[in-house]
Structure 1
Amino acid sequence: SCRTHHDRDINASINLKNEAIRLLTTRTVEIA
């Protein structure tokens, strides 16, 4: 149970980081 929750937290943080990178990339492309 604890292990599953830990993996879910890792996946959530990865998704957040990917989303942030995607938003930054999109914003940079629009500016350029």
Structure 2
Amino acid sequence: MRDELLNESLFFGLDHARSAIAEWMEDLNPVS
């Protein structure tokens, strides 16, 4: 699944990458 994020995302810096990964992880594992 990690490849899915990396293949579909263009990161504009480390902060952007961190926030995009955090959003992606929330989508995969929503908090109840």
TM-score under structure 1 normalisation? 0.50
Aligned residues with identical type, % of pairs: 16
Structure 1: 5+ residue stretches without partners = 20-32
| Structure with max Cα Rg | 1
**Aligned residues, how many?**
19
Whose helix fraction is larger, Structure 1's or Structure 2's? 1
Structure 2: 5+ residue stretches without partners = 1-11
TM-score under structure 2 normalisation? 0.50
Structure 1 segments of 4+ aligned residues over 2 angstroms from their partners: none
- Aligned-residue Cα RMSD (Å) equals 1.4
